[in-house]
């Protein structure tokens, strides 16, 4: 088991990831993943570091690469790469080209299993390393944007191996997307801009899991929230939850702070930038840096300046200044002060990623190529472990309750 000391960049995160610690203790003894090489792509910081060492403790050789060029923490990469059986294809401050090349170099090492974030490695292995893809046993995908790409691959019938859609399991999206993204996005926006949430008109684009977390938490901090949506049911849900609902044209004129979390592209574009007030703040929490049309913003501006680290100010010819955080990349992971999600949340996300690898490699459900949900019993097991680590207990159903759920005539009912 890895040592915890002051020089160890993972020690703090390890204290807040008790499920991963339990896996390390249990599987460090039995090493069920011995003989397998697992590729791991993620934002490379302390919590993903603990996930990588957990796979390694369980016996796997681990090859890891970033899922975003700007979110890598150098000390974490160096500490992991120094261990035998763990290889980094990453360093802090990579360019987009270096990021791309490193992922190809990793795939040339022919991993048996791929744990992915944004479908970066899985898409590349299919498109450019078909011989490697042919021998991959399976994969797991951690985020919504990656599931969207996998669904497109499945629709085209090109997937060569089975993939668990880890994002779609309740123990991932109810906690990571809602609470993790919600808290860490607002925290990093506040720190990067050194401005207050309370009293601001805050436009949240998208009311899915992430947008819901951001909007609800912003309102709890005193923000006056506005939601934009393309799905009428989500828009209605936002309305019933007490947010103002508008189209983007109207919201552009009303907002002080804009946060996009749609998984889509060109959500805020030139016609919207033209309507915004002087001094607005723009941020993105979606996986790719295409939610804000940055080329459009660049074309409108007569110059850009950097008034503060992590802030790019676009000066409009009419004197308005629009302030973009973290270059439009994930604001909770790539800003100068960003550390990503709280460790307690990533404990469950990475537990589900671990379970995905364990189930396919060790229990071997013999799945055909395709995109699959994680079996519900595994999701429940992780939920129970998390509750146990928190010292919380649940009710156990008694026999009459179990039987009540199975009968339809309800003979004892008085109406
Ligand atoms: P989701 O699918 O639950 O929600 C996305 C919502 O955006 C949907 O309700 C959809 O109708 C809406 N939408 C799509 N196009 C829109 C547009 N043009 N205008 C307004 N609304 C629009 O997805 P989820 O889980 O909320 O993820 C959203 C994004 O956040 C994805 O890219 C995902 O990968 C990313 N993500 C980021 C994290 C982070 O750490 N920042 C963590 C987890 C997910």
Please say which residue of 288, 314, 334 terminates a domain: 334
Give the residue, by CA position, lying nearest to ligand 1 atom 18.
Answer: 267
Residues 192 and 212 reside in one and the same domain: yes
Query: What pLDDT is recorded for position 287?
Result: 92
Cα separation values, 372 from 287, 365, 405, Å: 21, 11, 28
Please give the mean pLDDT across all residues of the chain.
96
Once rounded to an integer, what is the mean pLDDT over residues 354-362? 98
Query: What pLDDT is recorded for position 3?
Result: 45
Residues 193 and 310 reside in one and the same domain: yes
Q: Dihedral sign, CA of 84, 39, 126, 330? A: negative
Residues 146 and 224 reside in one and the same domain: no
Closest atom of ligand 1 relative to the 288 alpha carbon: 32
Tokens of 80: 């992991």
* Residue 285 Cβ < 6 Å to ligand 1: yes
Residues 281 and 141 reside in one and the same domain: no
Q: Per the domain annotation, does 94 fall within a domain?
A: yes
What is the C-alpha to C-alpha distance for residues 245 and 129, in angstroms, rounded to an integer?
A: 45
* Residue 348 Cβ < 6 Å to ligand 1: no
Q: The pTM is what? A: 0.93
Residues 214 and 295 reside in one and the same domain: yes
* Residue 213 Cβ < 6 Å to ligand 1: no
Q: Strand 86-88 and strand 61-66: pairing?
A: parallel
- DSSP, residue by residue, 54-73: HHHHTT-EEEEEESSTT---
Q: Per the domain annotation, does 412 fall within a domain?
A: no
* Residue 261 Cβ < 6 Å to ligand 1: yes
What confidence category does residue 7 fall into, taking pLDDT thresholds of 50, 70 and 90?
confident
Cα separation values, 366 from 163, 359, 360, Å: 12, 10, 8
pLDDT(358) > 90: yes
> CA gyration radius for the chain?
23
Dihedral of the alpha carbons of 279, 282, 283, 288, in degrees to the nearest 10: -150
pLDDT(2) > 50: no
Q: Per the domain annotation, does 370 fall within a domain?
A: yes
Which residue segment(s) compose the domain that 283 sits in? 178-334
Query: What pLDDT is recorded for position 336?
Result: 87
Give the residue, by CA position, lying nearest to ligand 1 atom 32.
Answer: 263
Q: Dihedral sign, CA of 247, 252, 254, 258? A: positive
With a pLDDT cut of 90, the percent of the chain lying above it is 94
Q: Residue 353 CB: number of other CB atoms within 10 A? A: 28
* Residue 287 Cβ < 6 Å to ligand 1: yes
Please say which residue of 312, 334, 356 terminates a domain: 334
Once rounded to an integer, what is the mean pLDDT over residues 131-155? 97
pLDDT(413) > 80: no
Residue 286 labelled as part of a binding site: yes
* Residue 71 Cβ < 6 Å to ligand 1: no
Q: Per the domain annotation, does 109 fall within a domain?
A: yes
> Which of 175, 210, 265, 329 gets mutated to test ligand 1 (max ligand atoms within 8 A of its CB)?
210
Residues 190 and 162 reside in one and the same domain: no
Q: Per the domain annotation, does 151 fall within a domain?
A: yes
Query: What pLDDT is recorded for position 384?
Result: 97
Tokens of 241: 């939850």
What is the C-alpha to C-alpha distance for residues 178 and 211, in angstroms, rounded to an integer?
A: 8
What is the C-alpha to C-alpha distance for residues 290 and 294, in angstroms, rounded to an integer?
A: 7
Residues 157 and 264 reside in one and the same domain: no
Closest CA to 173 of 381, 348, 385, 358: 348
* Residues paired with 38 in a beta bridge: 62, 113
Residues 155 and 220 reside in one and the same domain: no
Q: Per the domain annotation, does 383 fall within a domain?
A: yes
Q: What is the CATH number of the domain that holds 215?
A: 3.40.50.720
pLDDT(411) > 90: no
Q: Per the domain annotation, does 260 fall within a domain?
A: yes
Residues 22 and 162 reside in one and the same domain: yes
CB distance 325 to 192 below 8 Å = yes
Backbone angles phi and psi of 37, in degrees to 5: -110, 120
Distance 342 CA to ligand 1 centre (A): 19
What confidence category does residue 1 fall into, taking pLDDT thresholds of 50, 70 and 90?
very low
Q: Strand 321-325 and strand 311-315: pairing?
A: antiparallel
* Residue 228 Cβ < 6 Å to ligand 1: yes
Q: Per the domain annotation, does 4 fall within a domain?
A: no
Tokens of 275: 């309507």
Domain count, the chain: 2
Tell which phi-psi region holds residue 315, choosing left (phi > 0), alpha (psi between -120 and 50) or beta. Answer: beta
Once rounded to an integer, what is the mean pLDDT over residues 301-313? 98
Q: How does pLDDT run across 232-265, given as a tens digit for each residue?
A: 999 999 999 999 999 999 999 999 999 999 999 9
* Residue 207 Cβ < 6 Å to ligand 1: yes
Residues 328 and 351 reside in one and the same domain: no
Backbone angles phi and psi of 397, in degrees to 5: -70, 135
Give the residue, by CA position, lying nearest to ligand 1 atom 8.
Answer: 208
Give the residue, by CA position, lying nearest to ligand 1 atom 19.
Answer: 229
> Which of 180, 208, 234 gets mutated to test ligand 1 (max ligand atoms within 8 A of its CB)?
208
Q: How does pLDDT run across 161-208, given as a tens digit for each residue?
A: 999 999 999 999 999 999 999 999 999 999 999 999 999 999 999 999
* Residue 263 Cβ < 6 Å to ligand 1: yes
Residue 213 labelled as part of a binding site: yes
Give the residue, by CA position, lying nearest to ligand 1 atom 23.
Answer: 208
- For 202-256, the three-class secondary structure string (H helix, E strand, C coil) is EEEECCCHHHHHHHHHHHHCCCEEEEECCCHHHHHHHHHCCCEECCHHHHHHHCC
pLDDT(4) > 50: no
Residues 42 and 86 reside in one and the same domain: yes
Residues 358 and 280 reside in one and the same domain: no
Q: What is the CATH number of the domain that holds 91?
A: 3.40.50.1480
Query: What pLDDT is recorded for position 337?
Result: 87
* Residue 335 Cβ < 6 Å to ligand 1: no
Query: What pLDDT is recorded for position 5?
Result: 57
């Amino acid at each position: 088991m890895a040592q915890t000391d002051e020089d160890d960049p993972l020690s703090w995160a390890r204290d807040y990831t008790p499920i991963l610690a339990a896996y390390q203790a249990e599987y460090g003894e039995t090493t069920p993943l011995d003989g397998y090489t697992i590729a791991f792509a993620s934002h490379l910081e302390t919590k993903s570091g603990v996930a990588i060492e957990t796979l390694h403790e369980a016996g796997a050789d681990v090859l890891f690469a970033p899922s975003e060029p700007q979110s890598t923490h150098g000390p974490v990469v160096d500490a992991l790469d120094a261990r035998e059986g763990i290889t980094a294809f990453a360093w802090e401050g990579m360019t987009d080209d270096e990021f791309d090349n490193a992922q190809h170099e990793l795939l040339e090492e022919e991993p048996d299993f791929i744990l992915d974030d944004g479908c970066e490695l899985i898409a590349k292995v299919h498109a450019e390393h078909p011989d490697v893809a042919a021998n991959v046993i399976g994969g797991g995908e951690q985020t919504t944007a990656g599931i969207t790409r996998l669904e497109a691959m499945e629709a085209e019938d090109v997937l060569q191996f089975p993939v668990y859609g880890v994002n779609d399991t309740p123990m991932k999206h109810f906690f990571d997307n809602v609470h993790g993204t919600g808290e860490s996005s607002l925290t990093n926006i506040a720190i990067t801009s050194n401005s207050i949430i309370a009293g601001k008109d805050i436009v949240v684009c998208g009311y899915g899991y992430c947008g819901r977390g951001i909007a609800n938490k912003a309102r709890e901090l005193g923000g006056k929230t506005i939601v934009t949506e393309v799905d009428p049911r989500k828009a209605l849900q936002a309305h019933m939850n007490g947010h103002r609902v508008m189209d983007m044209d109207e919201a552009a004129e009303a907002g002080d702070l804009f946060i996009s979390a749609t998984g889509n592209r060109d959500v805020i574009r030139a016609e919207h930038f033209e309507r915004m007030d002087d001094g607005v703040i723009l941020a993105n929490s979606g996986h790719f840096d295409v939610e804000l049309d940055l080329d459009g913003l660049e074309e409108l501006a007569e110059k850009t300046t950097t008034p503060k680290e992590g802030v790019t100010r676009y000066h409009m010819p009419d004197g308005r200044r629009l302030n973009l955080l973290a270059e439009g990349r994930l604001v909770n992971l790539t800003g100068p002060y960003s550390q990503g999600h709280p460790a307690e949340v990533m404990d469950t996300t990475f537990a589900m990623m671990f379970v995905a690898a364990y189930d396919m490699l060790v229990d071997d459900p013999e799945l055909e190529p395709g995109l699959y949900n994680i079996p519900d019993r595994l999701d429940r097991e992780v939920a129970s472990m998390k509750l146990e680590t928190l010292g919380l207990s649940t009710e156990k159903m008694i026999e009459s309750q179990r039987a009540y759920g199975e009968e339809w005539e309800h003979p004892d009912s008085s109406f």
